[in-house]
């Protein structure tokens, strides 16, 4: 599971970075790193730990990129709605299958990516 989570994060980040290299939302700090914001619905400590471990490994292999992970818990959907209204969406976020209706203008359809077949 940990390797699958890591693979998913890597591929997701690569997809977003490739699609959004010119994105003004991805901030660069004074240290020259690109910081990507990630919001996740993960509430289980084990899941969070696995994702944070995958992020740490990704950052180690990609020293120019920092991922700022946020786990807002029960306020997740409300927080994303506020961010959407302010046009301040995170660079990476997870959501439900029905979310295409709500977040359609902020997401890309990745169903044809090679790695999708490995998701449960």
Pairing mode of beta strands 34-39, 27-28: antiparallel
pLDDT-based confidence at residue 106 (cuts at 50, 70, 90): confident
User: Looking at domain 2-13+29-118, which of 3.40.190.10, 2.70.170.10, 3.40.50.720, 3.40.50.2000 is its CATH number?
Assistant: 3.40.190.10
Q: What was the pLDDT predicted at 58?
A: 94
- Would you give the DSSP letter of residue 74? G
Interval 101-109 mean pLDDT: 79
Instruction: Answer for the pair 69, 36: CB distance below 8 angstroms, yes or no.
Output: no
Tell me: pLDDT of 20 over 90.
Answer: no
The values of phi and psi at residue 71, to 5°, are -125, 80
The whole-model pTM stands at: 0.67
pLDDT-based confidence at residue 97 (cuts at 50, 70, 90): low
Report the alpha-carbon distance of residue 30 to residue 6 in Å, rounded: 28
> How confident is the model over 54-85, as pLDDT tens digits?
999 999 999 999 999 999 988 888 888 899 88
Domain boundaries defined on the chain? 2-13+29-118
pLDDT-based confidence at residue 29 (cuts at 50, 70, 90): low
- Return the biggest CA–CA distance within the chain: 39
Report the alpha-carbon distance of residue 8 to residue 51 in Å, rounded: 10
Interval 3-8 mean pLDDT: 51
Instruction: State the average pLDDT for the chain.
Output: 79
Report the alpha-carbon distance of residue 5 to residue 32 in Å, rounded: 27
Tell me: pLDDT of 12 over 90.
Answer: no
Q: What was the pLDDT predicted at 73?
A: 87
Burial of 91 (0-12, 13-18, 19+ CB in 10 A): buried
Report the alpha-carbon distance of residue 57 to residue 9 in Å, rounded: 10
């Amino acid at each position: 599971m940990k390797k699958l989570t890591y693979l998913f994060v890597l591929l997701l980040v690569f997809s977003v970075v490739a699609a959004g290299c010119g994105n003004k939302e991805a901030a660069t700090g004074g240290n020259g790193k690109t910081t990507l914001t990630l919001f996740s619905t993960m509430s289980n400590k084990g899941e969070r730990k696995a994702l944070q471990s995958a992020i740490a490994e990704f950052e180690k292999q990609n020293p120019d990129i920092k991922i700022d992970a946020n786990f807002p818990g029960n306020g997740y959907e409300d927080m994303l709605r506020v961010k959407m209204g302010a046009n301040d969406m995170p660079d990476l976020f997870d959501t439900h299958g029905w979310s295409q209706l709500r977040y359609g203008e902020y997401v890309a359809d990745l169903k044809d990516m090679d790695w999708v077949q490995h998701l449960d």
